């Protein structure tokens, strides 16, 4: 069996080699993403595996089907780049890796929240100017805070456990209430969460209920001392409205691991003209943290992402049921 892996990152290669040696399955890695220009490379392979946030063009589905490929495996949690109607039309089973390491993202969210709560951006600004005065740097301690989790699934649930272990009060909104999270959080409604949380941390998929969820109206409901943490998808936060809210001191700060329209510079060295103006404005603020969609990027996550994705490619190719099929 031969599998073609698209958009392979350097750090993944040792885990791919390990998996290939253990299973005896041949894997070819390419740097490029799966798209209309690269889909022809899949000819002659039994299966494919990719990670990317850019939508797949319709021709990709059609050609994969023509080449005898039976699956679309995204070795990542998000699968919003896949058109399920086209996948169905061309008999492509969609699989993802739903939870390669929820702790990786939860820990990054917590780290950024702590940086904001302790005003470390302002500390850095002061130290750059050799300003050792304390005025304006007083902060609070985490167990005094209420943390509001929007979307308490794998990552939100892990986030609840971390904050709960630090003594914070944790509240959450999610249409699904999970009894196993009862020791760590209390469910509430979104309105109450926005009004009462000191840290609002978002861990939902990007869907019709979450697109632009953080807009002007939402920021107005939040406490002026509250921080927004978005480790999920850029489209959940309206960047222009966030800038207005920060400038009007409607909220205290934000950490964004993902940006809307980040596709062109995802895991790339970007040039200034590629970066939207609103992100440059946000980046210049000491109470805003922007990271390169890398909250997941730990050794554990990389190892699991590679093996769980490839195992499902093999399952579909062999006509077996994959472990992580996605239905939409
Ligand atoms: P999950 O499916 O386990 O949990 C998502 C939860 O959000 C579900 O419980 C769902 O019911 C809930 N939800 C959906 N719409 C909601 C709404 N409007 N309000 C409240 N809750 C809602 O997914 P997960 O593994 O926890 O991942 C969550 C998201 O994190 C992914 O969809 C992906 O976009 C993002 N992610 C980011 C990174 C990163 O590196 N930054 C890595 C992995 C995943």
Find how far residue 97's CA is from the centre of its chain: 13
Flag the least confident range among 34-43, 72-81, 159-168. 72-81
Query: Cα torsion at 31, 36, 37, 41 (round to 10°)?
Result: 70
* Residue of minimum CA distance from atom 43 in ligand 1: 77
- Residue 261 is predicted with a pLDDT of 84
Could you give the 3-state DSSP secondary structure of residue 60? helix
Q: Which residues of 66-88 are buried (b: 16+ CB within 10 A; e: fewer)?
A: ebebbbbbbbbbbbebbbeebbe
The pLDDT of 144-153, averaged and rounded, is: 98
Side-chain-side CA neighbours of residue 171 (13 Å): 16
Judge if ipTM > 0.85.
Answer: yes
The answer, yes or no, to whether residue 78 has pLDDT greater than 90, is no
Q: Is 293 a catalytic residue?
A: yes
The predicted-structure confidence for 4-53, as pLDDT tens digits, reads as follows: 999 998 889 999 999 999 999 999 999 999 999 999 999 999 999 999 88
Could you give the 3-state DSSP secondary structure of residue 132? coil
- Residue 266 is predicted with a pLDDT of 80
Flag the least confident range among 12-21, 77-86, 259-268, 313-322. 259-268
- Residue 253 is predicted with a pLDDT of 98
Q: Is 115 a catalytic residue?
A: no
d(CA 174, ligand 1 centre) in Å: 10
Q: Ligand 1 pocket: which residues have CB below 6 Å? A: 77-78, 98-99, 102, 105, 150-151, 153-156, 173-176, 203-207, 209-210, 231-233, 257-258, 293, 295-296
- Residue 248 is predicted with a pLDDT of 98
Q: What are residue 5's phi and psi, to 5 degrees?
A: -105, 125
The pLDDT of 134-155, averaged and rounded, is: 97
- Residue 199 is predicted with a pLDDT of 98
Q: Is 233 a catalytic residue?
A: yes
- Residue 166 is predicted with a pLDDT of 98
With pLDDT > 90 as the criterion, what percentage of the chain qualifies?
92
Determine which helix (DSSP H) or strand (DSSP E) holds 20, and give its type and residue range. Answer: helix 13-23
With pLDDT > 70 as the criterion, what percentage of the chain qualifies?
100
Q: Over the Cα atoms of the chain, what is R_g?
A: 21
Percent helix, percent strand, percent coil in the chain, to nearest 5: 40, 15, 45
pTM of the model: 0.87
d(CA 165, ligand 1 centre) in Å: 21
- Residue 10 is predicted with a pLDDT of 86
| Cα–Cα distance for residue pair 80/119, rounded to 1 Å | 34
The answer, yes or no, to whether residue 225 has pLDDT greater than 80, is yes
| Per-residue confidence band for 108, with pLDDT thresholds at 50, 70 and 90 | very high
Mutate to test the pocket of ligand 1, among 81, 96, 155, 327 (most ligand atoms within 8 A of CB): 155
Q: Which residues contact 33 (CB under 8 A, 6 or more apart)?
A: 6, 7, 50, 52, 54
Average pLDDT for the chain: 96
Mutate to test the pocket of ligand 1, among 111, 149, 152, 153 (most ligand atoms within 8 A of CB): 153
- Residue 208 is predicted with a pLDDT of 95
The answer, yes or no, to whether residue 328 has pLDDT greater than 80, is no
The predicted-structure confidence for 293-313, as pLDDT tens digits, reads as follows: 999 999 999 999 999 999 999
- Residue 264 is predicted with a pLDDT of 82
d(CA 30, ligand 1 centre) in Å: 28
The pLDDT of 185-209, averaged and rounded, is: 97
d(CA 36, ligand 1 centre) in Å: 28
Alpha helices in 132-283 (DSSP H): 154-165, 190-196, 216-221, 239-247, 277-283
Task: Specify the length of the chain in residues.
Answer: 328
| Cα–Cα distance for residue pair 78/326, rounded to 1 Å | 10
Q: Which of 233, 250, 267, 283 is catalytic?
A: 233
Q: Which residues contact 279 (CB under 8 A, 6 or more apart)?
A: 239, 259, 290
């Amino acid at each position: 069996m031969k599998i073609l892996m698209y958009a392979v990152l350097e750090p993944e290669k040792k885990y791919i080699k390990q998996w290939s040696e253990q299973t005896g399955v041949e894997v070819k890695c390419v740097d490029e993403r799966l798209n209309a220009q690269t889909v022809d490379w899949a000819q002659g392979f039994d299966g494919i595996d990719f990670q990317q946030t850019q939508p797949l063009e319709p021709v990709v589905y059609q050609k994969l089907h023509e080449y005898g490929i039976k699956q679309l495996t995204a070795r990542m949690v998000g699968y919003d780049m896949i058109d399920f109607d086209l996948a169905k039309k061309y008999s492509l089973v969609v699989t993802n890796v739903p939870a390669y390491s929820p702790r990786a993202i939860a820990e990054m969210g917590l780290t950024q929240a702590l940086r904001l709560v302790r005003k470390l951006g302002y500390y850095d600004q002061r130290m750059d100017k050799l300003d050792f005065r304390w005025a304006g740097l007083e902060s609070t301690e985490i167990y005094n805070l209420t943390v509001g989790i929007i979307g308490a699934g794998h990552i939100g649930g892990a986030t609840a456990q971390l904050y709960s272990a630090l003594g914070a009060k944790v509240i959450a909104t999610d249409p699904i209430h999970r009894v196993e999270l009862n020791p760590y959080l209390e469910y509430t409604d979104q309105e109450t969460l926005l009004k009462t949380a000191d840290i609002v941390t978002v861990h939902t998929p990007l869907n019709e209920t979450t697109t632009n969820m953080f807009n002007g109206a939402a920021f107005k409901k939040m406490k002026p001392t509250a921080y927004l943490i978005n480790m999920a998808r850029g489209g959940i936060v309206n960047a222009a409205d966030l800038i207005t809210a920060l400038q009007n001191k409607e909220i205290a700060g934000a950490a964004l691991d993902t940006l809307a329209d980040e596709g062109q510079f995802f895991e790339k060295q970007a040039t200034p003209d590629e970066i939207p103006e609103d992100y440059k404005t946000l980046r210049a603020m000491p109470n805003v943290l922007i990271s390169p969609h890398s909250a997941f990027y730990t050794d554990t996550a990389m190892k699991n992402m590679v093996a769980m994705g490839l195992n499902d490619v093999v399952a579909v190719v062999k006509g077996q049921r994959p472990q992580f099929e996605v239905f939409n």
